[in-house]
Structure 1
Amino acid sequence: MQLFPTATTFAIFSCLLTLSQAYDIVREYSGITFFDEWDFFGSWDNLTLGDVYWLDESDAFSQGLAYVNSAGNAVIKVDNMHSVQSPQKRNSVRITTKDSYAVGSLWIFDFVHIPYGCSVWPAAWSLGGPTWPEGGEIDILEAVNLMPSNQMALHTTSGCFHNYTPPNQLGATLVTDCSTAAGCTVGELQPNSYGSGFAAMGGGVYAAQFDVAGLVIWFWSRANVPSSINQSNSTSDIDISQWGPPSASYLAAGQCNITEFFTPQQLILDITLCGNWAGLPEVYFPVCGNQGPTGICYNDNVVGDGSNYDNAYFEIPYIRAYTTGGVAPTPTATPFDIISKVDISTYPGYGSVTIPLSAITAAETGLNPSPMFFPGNGASVIGLGCVGWWMVSVGAILLIRLM
């Protein structure tokens, strides 16, 4: 049977042409339902030895450490309302997505505010399970104390490296072996990616591409967020082709086999205090040693009325997760000159220890990965999308040819 071009045929063909650049949305965390698809940790920080107790869901809400504000943004924060006496820990929040996202995923984080201050250690990251670091870890946002900018990192078992820095990576490669305590780290050189500068600019957006070709992380201050993100919504797909050069670009070719070192990832947001990065004397004391009489992170910060934690909170308009039905290319945009480049070489902490090297089991973390979203499955959540229409169309054509 002869097939003739129709409007539907052309629409399908057009869809396929853009497939390699578009991602299908599978989940948006936002508004009053933001917390519905997250699990609360409900234990002390036994991972990085921070001086916090991460509350369970009911306590986090009842104590006002997790809520949705009048602007419709989700907030998680450190307790700044109660006095803590030594040797008590201060209450905080850590949340983990119920969903797991496999290779072929893309995540976008819109932050109005990121926690900062002496002793403060926030992170937006992902973790494969059930045993660390076999499933891999991706640190998208992580900084401590008064660091002027973000630090990105991968944590894996032995054999994954970031030995080659792509010419379009805007950040500075600091550590190349992803199996070290610090992981293979990249320091952000663009201004206002963290701290008071981030807040003063109205926040910004982070994005991470989790792909077989590599792991790529972008950061944009509010004024520089790409139009494809600003114009997107909770049901639309997204095109990354005009996003420009990334802050960190971990290439897979010849350096790190992504599917070997990373299993499906759960997204995590947390805020801890002191611990084995923010609280290290060589990291804490040079910039925060005048915070109190002892020069010790816990004594001069965690203990007391908590008023010094007024800026220790995340405020989040949305987090969106996407998948693609195929290998999506990483943009190869030409790097640009960064005006007022951040000099991270003068600040202690970059490339430092961020997690102990002891194995962390599922029992210790309370994580129960439930792989749900794999490449192409976005169609079953939001609609058929390009991948779904392609599959339907191929099936229809085969059926017609058999008639």
Structure 2
Amino acid sequence: MKSDEQTSLLTRRTSRTQQQSVRLSITHQSIRDIERISQNAHRLVQEVNDTDSVNGLLGCEDDYSVGSGIDEMFDDDVPVSGGRGSVTQSDLDYLSGEASSNWDEQPNRNAMLVDRMGEQLLQANDIESEARILRKSLKLDARSIPSSFDLEDDETNMQEHLSTRQVSDRVHESTRALRSKMLTTSQRGSRAALLEMMQESDEEEKPKPLLAPTKLQILRLLSFTFLVMLIIYMLLKMGTYAVGPPRLPIGEYKIVEAQVGHQFFMYYDFYSGKDSAGSNGYNLYVSREVADKEDIVKVVTEVVGEDDMVEIYEDEKEMEVDWLLEDLEFLEDLKRKKVDEMREKEVDVKVETEKKKVNETGAGMKKSTAKSVNGKNGTRHLQSATRLEAFNPDLPVNGTLTNNITETFVYLSSSSSAEGPRNSIRLEGRRRFNRGLFIIDLRHMPAGCGTWPAFWLTDEANWPVNGEIDIVEGVNYQDTAKTALHTTKECRMDDVPEGSKTGTWDTAVGIPDKKTGIPDMTFRYAEDCFVYDPHQWINQGCVATDLKLEGRSLGVPLNNNGGGVYALEWDPTNTHIRTWVFSPHGRVPRNLRDAMRTAQNVDESTRVAPDTTKWGLPYGHFPIGDGTNCPAEHFRNMRLVINLAFCGSVAGTRYFMDCPKQYKQFKTCEKWVASDPDELKEAYWKIRGVYVYEREWQKQWV
């Protein structure tokens, strides 16, 4: 055969001649059977000129020769030499195709032998039948069949069959291996030996079944997986160390905005219009042009008199350490006071008298001022020399000090309006923040009945989603500093470390029940920052109040002390928001004072970085961020706002409680403010400066 197509066509011809259906798609196993048997005999015919060995291998009886087997199976005259009972040299020559003179002249007969050989091999179930069929295949080895053979056109799917030459050639290869096995056994001519070797050959060719993985294989697979993961981990580690640690805002504070003097307004925009719906203040915010015309915004420079100067202590180290010691002593006094109150009902008159003495001593300490720091109250025992200085004097002109030391302030006030609401100021910062240290140095803040001043951080367009932080806020005659946070749900302050602050929480008592309207007199602290918490006042938020300077850190008392300094540290990386108040200025930590005094220095190396660890304990401590009950994402994208509102949802609501004298004459806060009383002349901001710091970004492993 010269092609697969000719073999397929011959197969169709044979099927019609034999008048039986022979399946054309011979399986691979059947092909291997043909190869195996043909190769065994052909190898012996070509290389072993031994008729007895051939007969033994083919499993023939003594009376069954190669040539006679062919005559018997096909019932036609085949020129074969030799008699029955042995394989002669002529038989061997005929099988090898060397002695046949008319082989090429009988293509039809040869084709028939091929087809019958294939069909019978599929049906053969014993070695004798396979041997007889094999003898036929050898006679057609290396022969070709004419291409002019008559074919039918109705059968077209006759492909993928091997030609006789292809089958025979592959058969010869495997025969050598079988013959080698035959020669090594003592039962060379035994039919049983042949059968055993044929079965072994079948088993070798069969595909081995898939076995379940052994424990060793599983262990190897796990070890390989672990090794791969270890390599990947090491590569990632090496890459991480090559790139370096992540950048985090954990360095020292650097000034980003020093809002002082005439430069103050470059950091803000003037908002003009009505107050927001949430505040609903009785005021109209005006533009810069209107404010200038009304003379309610200006920058003023004043000479610092001796009465306005502060005592500066020479011993820095003693001062730095003493702030923390003083705060710790204050906390111990609070604990002792609470213990005394718990025993109040159990003590006799003598113990009661001793308790009153302790309380009087505590009250005296609370009323001390900066100039009585070295007094007899025992809170501080500094023997260092002091000197008087302006707290934050103006920079000298051209580096030369003048005889008169001056300080410059920003003045923000309000004015009455014929239309009704009072004209006022609202400044909105131009920069957005997500962290920072915010400091305001005040000489005076708005105070009095009906006032509602605030210095705060907000993103009103996304309120309360992005939160709100009230740094300084007061209404009416409030005299104690407070810091409030306002957020959406899931921001509680019930995990504040003990001893981390000198303040306490505002209270929420008498909240009306939403269904019955009956006030709930349960005592609760305002520790939930959610603006609509059902157990707190609407928009109360979580509110920290000052205890150390209680009654002297806001409003009128603060102004009488010459003002003070407020600072708020918003540090999500270190998981907290903290707030301080220092009043009067003589009680401001030296590190904080020096930071503000040098914030405008052209030479950055001479600027002092504020260090909050040297300021003592804050009065407000709000845990935020990882590991707390308030995610840091509650506070973001906020800007500074400075404003002065009147009445509204807070000051107006509390008007009848906070202003009983005014309430007798004016039944509403709005009527009181509209009357333009002289008291409102004290409703103004006098700001020495606002200082905003942010931590430097540094690479560090967390």
- Which residue of structure 1 aligns with residue 648 of structure 2? 275
- After TM superposition, the structure 1 = structure 2 runs for residues 251-290 of structure 1, keeping only pairs within 5 Å, are 251-252=623-624, 253-258=627-632, 260-280=633-653, 283-290=654-661
Greater strand share, 1 or 2?
A: 1
Unaligned runs of 5+ in 2: 1-248, 303-407, 507-525, 532-538, 601-606
Match of 1:56 among 283, 287, 297: 287
Greater mean alpha carbon deviation, residues 66-75 or residues 138-147: 66-75
Letter in 2 for 1:255: N
- Which residue of structure 2 aligns with residue 182 of structure 1? 540
- Which residue of structure 2 aligns with residue 314 of structure 1? 685
In structure 2, distance between residues paired with 1:98 and 1:323:
16
In structure 2, distance between residues paired with 1:46 and 1:140:
19
CA contact (8 A) 1:113 1:203 kept: yes
- After TM superposition, the structure 1 = structure 2 runs for residues 392-403 of structure 1, keeping only pairs within 5 Å, are none
Deviation at 1:298, TM superposition (A): 1.1
Greater mean alpha carbon deviation, residues 167-176 or residues 286-295: 286-295
- Which residue of structure 1 aligns with residue 274 of structure 2? 44
Match of 2:576 among 214, 222, 245: 214
Structure 2 residue 570 is the aligned partner of structure 1 residue 205: no
CA contact (8 A) 2:493 2:623 kept: yes
In structure 2, the CA distance between the partners of 1:145 and 1:275, relative to structure 1 (3 Å rule), is same
- Which residue of structure 2 aligns with residue 231 of structure 1? 594
In structure 2, distance between residues paired with 1:125 and 1:310:
23
Letter in 2 for 1:271: L
- After TM superposition, the structure 1 = structure 2 runs for residues 91-240 of structure 1, keeping only pairs within 5 Å, are 91-103=423-435, 105-128=436-459, 130-166=461-497, 167-174=499-506, 175-180=526-531, 181-189=539-547, 190-191=549-550, 192-212=552-572, 213-221=575-583, 222-232=585-595, 233-235=598-600, 236=607, 237-240=609-612
- 3-state secondary structure, aligned to 1:231: helix
- Which residue of structure 2 aligns with residue 25 of structure 1? 255
Alignment TM-score, normalising by the size of structure 1: 0.71
Deviation at 1:164, TM superposition (A): 2.9
Once the two structures are superposed, residues 180-216 of structure 1 have per-residue CA deviations (whole angstroms, 9 ceiling, x without a partner) of 2111111222232112210111111011111111111
CA contact (8 A) 1:137 1:156 kept: yes
CA contact (8 A) 2:481 2:581 kept: no
In structure 2, the CA distance between the partners of 1:151 and 1:240, relative to structure 1 (3 Å rule), is closer
CA contact (8 A) 2:479 2:558 kept: no
In structure 2, distance between residues paired with 1:46 and 1:261:
21
Number of residues of Structure 1 aligned to a counterpart in Structure 2: 302
- 3-state secondary structure, aligned to 1:285: helix
In structure 2, distance between residues paired with 1:238 and 1:287:
38
Percent identity for Structure 1 against Structure 2? 28
Once the two structures are superposed, residues 80-132 of structure 1 have per-residue CA deviations (whole angstroms, 9 ceiling, x without a partner) of xx4x45x61000101011111222x1111101111100000011100135310
- Which residue of structure 1 aligns with residue 413 of structure 2? 77
Deviation at 1:306, TM superposition (A): 4.3
In structure 2, distance between residues paired with 1:320 and 1:163:
31
- Which residue of structure 1 aligns with residue 61 of structure 2? none
- Larger Rg computed on CA atoms: 2
In structure 2, the CA distance between the partners of 1:202 and 1:294, relative to structure 1 (3 Å rule), is closer
- 3-state secondary structure, aligned to 1:324: strand
- 3-state secondary structure, aligned to 2:671: helix
Greater helix share, 1 or 2?
A: 2
Once the two structures are superposed, residues 301-337 of structure 1 have per-residue CA deviations (whole angstroms, 9 ceiling, x without a partner) of x112342211101111110111113xxxxxxxxxxxx
Once the two structures are superposed, residues 345-399 of structure 1 have per-residue CA deviations (whole angstroms, 9 ceiling, x without a partner) of xxxxxxxxxxxxxxxxxxxxxxxxxxxxxxx4xxxxxxxxxx5xx89xxxxxxxx
CA contact (8 A) 1:21 1:241 kept: no
Unaligned runs of 5+ in 1: 1-18, 326-375, 377-386, 392-403
Deviation at 1:68, TM superposition (A): 0.6
Deviation at 1:272, TM superposition (A): 0.3
In structure 2, the CA distance between the partners of 1:99 and 1:119, relative to structure 1 (3 Å rule), is same
- Which residue of structure 1 aligns with residue 670 of structure 2? 298
CA contact (8 A) 2:454 2:643 kept: yes
Which ranges of 4 or more aligned residues in structure 1 deviate by more than 4 Å?
none
- 3-state secondary structure, aligned to 2:530: coil
In structure 1, distance between residues paired with 2:457 and 2:676:
32
Alignment TM-score, normalising by the size of structure 2: 0.42
Letter in 1 for 2:647: C
In structure 1, distance between residues paired with 2:638 and 2:691:
14
Deviation at 1:20, TM superposition (A): 5.1
Once the two structures are superposed, residues 153-184 of structure 1 have per-residue CA deviations (whole angstroms, 9 ceiling, x without a partner) of 10111111112343221221121111121111
- Which residue of structure 2 aligns with residue 369 of structure 1? none
